[in-house]
């Protein structure tokens, strides 16, 4: 008679350990590579770092169950969904998906903007692109009616040599600032960069140099930016990155007045390392 000292392996515990370590490895990889910025807002990063440690700890504490008799027979299919999710997360490349809908204005900036509008009693000028617009050039009367000084100290916004420069850190701030106080900025020179966004609802000489704004995660990201007038707009390739220099004017849209950049110069630029921007906190 033969006796064996080998213990039966608890495959359920093995599956759990593989899943825990798999997700820990995936989160760690996207954090270290910077690809995490394509998935979630920066404020979520600490939670993902915590999740890496939590998954590793759970895998460690599950090690003791590997050679314990399983309380019941566990079908392997029970963990299929976890493995499929992990495989898809690793195999599918992270990319920025651009919706077909463009929002013109600061309404996409979430609860902070809504709160400011309620406090100020203002009406949200944001609308989906859908109607024809009429461009209104600044008049002498508008120029002689100041509504405050340009810039916003609270958000760190100021003119540079008399020009507005919209970069990754100030894009959302200037977007909101110019919409809220358009009278101050009509006639001011502006420089902004973004990917070319066309819409069937735009005029032939219009496009938006857009950026993707993320409130929480990639699923809620929307393209935002200022409508831009440019004679050769229709010839600009979709999704190509450009830098626009022009003058802020205004246009009417669905009965509302919104900013419009009359482009003076457009040059191609490289896509930024981080394509997303975030609302002002």
243-257 pLDDT tens trace:
999 999 998 877 788
| Position 133 in a domain | yes
Position 231 pLDDT exceeds 80 = yes
Q: Which residue has the tokens 């920025």?
A: 96
Question: Is the whole-model pTM more than 0.85?
Answer: no
For 81, the domain range is: 11-91
Whether residue 152 sits in one domain with residue 37: no
Residue where one domain finishes, among candidates 65, 91, 117: 91
- Looking at the structure, tell me whether residues 24 and 150 fall in a common domain: no
Residue showing tokens 């902004």: 192
Last residue of a domain, one of 56, 91, 126: 91
The 10s digit of each residue's pLDDT in 105-146 is 544 334 344 434 434 444 443 444 444 444 444 444 444 434
Residues 237 and 184 in one domain: yes
Q: What is the pLDDT of residues 147-199, one digit of tens each?
A: 578 888 888 899 999 999 999 989 999 999 999 999 999 999 999 999 999 98
CA angle 25, 27, 28 (to 5 degrees): 65
Helices (H), the chain: 11-33, 45-62, 80-91, 111-120, 140-143, 171-180, 182-185
132 with 189, same domain? yes
Pick from 90, 17, 85: which is nearest to 55 by CA? 17
* Within-domain flag for 176: yes
First-to-last CA distance in the chain? 74
Which pLDDT score is estimated for 269? 96
Give me the pLDDT at residue 174, please: 93
| Gap between the Cα atoms of 26 and 49, Å rounded | 11
Q: Which residue has the tokens 């966004």?
A: 197
Residues 170 and 210 in one domain: yes
Question: Tokens for 29?
Answer: 């990889």
Number of domains in the chain: 2
Q: What is the 8-class DSSP label of residue 59?
A: H
């Amino acid at each position: 008679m033969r006796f064996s000292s080998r213990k039966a392996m608890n495959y359920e515990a093995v599956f759990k350990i593989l899943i825990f370590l798999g997700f820990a490895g995936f989160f760690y990889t996207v954090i270290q590579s910077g690809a995490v910025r394509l998935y979630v807002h920066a404020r979520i990063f600490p939670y993902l770092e915590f999740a890496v440690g939590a998954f590793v700890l759970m895998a460690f504490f599950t090690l003791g169950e590997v050679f314990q008799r399983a309380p019941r027979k566990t079908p392997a299919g029970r963990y299929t969904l976890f493995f499929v999710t992990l495989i898809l997360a690793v195999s599918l490349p992270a990319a920025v998906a651009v919706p077909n809908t463009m929002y013109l204005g600061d309404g996409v900036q979430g609860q902070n903007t809504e709160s400011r509008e309620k406090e100020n009693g203002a009406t949200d000028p944001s609308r989906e692109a859908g109607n024809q617009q009429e461009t209104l050039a600044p008049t002498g009367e508008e120029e002689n009616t100041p509504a405050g000084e340009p810039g916003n100290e609270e958000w760190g916004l100021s003119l540079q040599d008399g020009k507005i420069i919209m970069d990754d850190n100030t894009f959302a701030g200037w977007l909101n600032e110019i919409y809220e106080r358009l009278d101050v900025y009509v006639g001011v020179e502006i420089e902004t960069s973004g990917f070319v966004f066309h819409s069937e609802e735009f005029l032939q000489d219009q496009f938006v140099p857009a950026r993707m704004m993320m409130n929480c995660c990639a699923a809620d990201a929307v393209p935002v930016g200022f409508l831009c007038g440019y004679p050769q707009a229709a010839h600009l390739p979709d999704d190509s990155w450009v830098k626009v220099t022009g003058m802020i004017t205004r246009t009417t849209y669905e009965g509302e007045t919104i900013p419009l950049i009359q482009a003076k110069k457009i040059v191609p630029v490289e896509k930024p390392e981080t394509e997303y921007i975030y609302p002002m906190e």
